[in-house]
Amino acid sequence: MPAFENDAMGYDTFPSQSDVGESGSQAAALARIFDEQRARSRSAAPAPWALRSDRLRRLRRLILEQRGALAQAISGDFGHRSRHETELLEINPLLDGIAHSLRHGQDWMRMQRRRPGPKFWPGAARLLPQPLGVVGVIVPWNYPLLLSLGPAQCALTAGNTVLIKVSDLSPRFGALLSRLLEQAFDTHELRLFNGDADFSRHFCRLPFDHLLFTGSPAVGRQVMRAASDNLTPVTLELGGKSPAIVDADADLEAAARRIVIGKTFNAGQTCVAPDYALVPRGRLDAFIGGARRAVERFYPALARGGDYTSIISAHHFSRLQRLVDDAVARGACAWPLSKAPHDAVRRLFPPIALSGLAPEAAALHEEIFGPVLPVLEVGDLDEAIAWINARPRPLALYLFARRQATIDRVLAHTVSGGVTVNDTFLHAGVDSLPFGGIGESGMGAYHGEEGFHTFSHAKPVFLRGRIGLLPWLYPPFGARAERLLRMPRHE
């Protein structure tokens, strides 16, 4: 099996955990805790709602009590990230998701009635949601709190136990959250591990009952191959190049402002960030002007960092600079959206737009995952749709338009993981909507009720009545069986 790729270069040493000291190695500790959780899940009755809701409340209490420390640890791993940005993009969505599960989880657990059909009268058909068992969650570095405890709370709502593996680029956060979870949860309920790419291999090879991975498509393929040895079902939350279409009748200033905020939150290090923009031909200068005004408005102290997040590592900083340099070398025009200088020491990468890109430019093929925005001019809506449909299906699509006919046309003629109309990001924060990709951008979904079902097995149950027609179908077959087999089908 090929080695797992690191999403970036970074830390060479990892904080120790109490479990590692007891068993001698992270891999041994992981195996021991997995075996304990698996044994519990196989021998104990499904957790009642009282226990599931208690786990969710403990998780919520941990977040509320430690929100400042968690934001500080995340900022330390990035080099700099505003506490308010962590509150807005991680802590608040996580608390909202837990509240949604507490409000609806008991209803999701209920056995569902299904119609069995006239041949099975007077029997009854039911669907019984049951926990899968032990769920594994593999977490990227860009939103380490939301993407670890978000899937975990869905799995806990469904009655599972959970093991979490965080990125080696989040060592401060990982060490803190590991310690906090050890204080709030028993080993057989929830545990978190730090580790490098080799440890990720050990993690993925365990026979989880479900494995959720968030990260790049390249690593997602490796995770899926590793999980296939145990026939472990997987949910892959990947990424890709999410487009933003600006229609000819759109409010261009508002569209530029909202695309900028989607591109600059977390310095663009977001799977659902708009990767590139498609704007009407002849409107490029106006769009760039609007984008510059938006950056100045949102980040007046960008040169000092302020509310603007650092790039996670020197490797990623260099990768972004390479994308810009490659595009310019091939004839593209670079449009700085801020007067702040690039600072490799602090990994401060101010937002920049690119226009006139050559078809071979790497920025048109690689997921950018940073504050670099290719802007492509298109003649009309059909050209924009054709451009999107000629490429892998994106995780998100953003459309800025006034006319309902335009909105309907784009929704009908494109396929993406999710859509927000006249803004960015927002569909991913609605707890009553599933979140997930399609094709190259992922498989499966979670959040809210869909998260509960992702981590549950809907077990079909048939309850036979004391009487009924079924004995007519026992041999030796006769006229009654013939009549039953020819019964009319009812819608």
For the annotated catalytic residues, the residue numbers are 237
- Helices 146-157 and 92-109: angle between axes, nearest 10 degrees: 10
Q: Identify whether 46 is preceded by a cis peptide bond (ω within 30 of 0).
A: no
Q: What is the three-class DSSP state of 51?
A: helix
Task: Quote the tokens at residue 78.
Answer: 């990035």
Handedness of CA 135, 397, 307, 11 (dihedral sign): positive
Secondary element (H or E) of residue 72: helix 49-78
List the structure tokens of 291: 């984008």
Q: How many Å apart are CA 83 and CA 368, to the nearest integer?
A: 24
Give every CB contact of residue 225 below 8 A, 6+ residues apart in sequence: 1
* Cα–Cα distance for residue pair 115/14, rounded to 1 Å: 55
Distances (CA, A) of 282 to 206, 252, 286, 334, 387: 55, 12, 9, 17, 18
Could you check whether the bond before residue 122 is cis, i.e. omega within 30 degrees of 0?
Answer: yes
Q: How far is 96 from 93, CA to CA, in rounded Å?
A: 5
Distance CA 315, CA 293 (A): 30
Could you tell me if 41 and 158 are in contact, meaning their C-beta atoms sit under 8 angstroms apart? no
Sorted by sequence, the CB contacts under 8 Å of residue 405 that are 6+ apart come out as none
Q: Tokens for 440?
A: 């190259």
CA distance 92 to 272: 18
Q: Indicate the SS3 state at residue 333.
A: strand
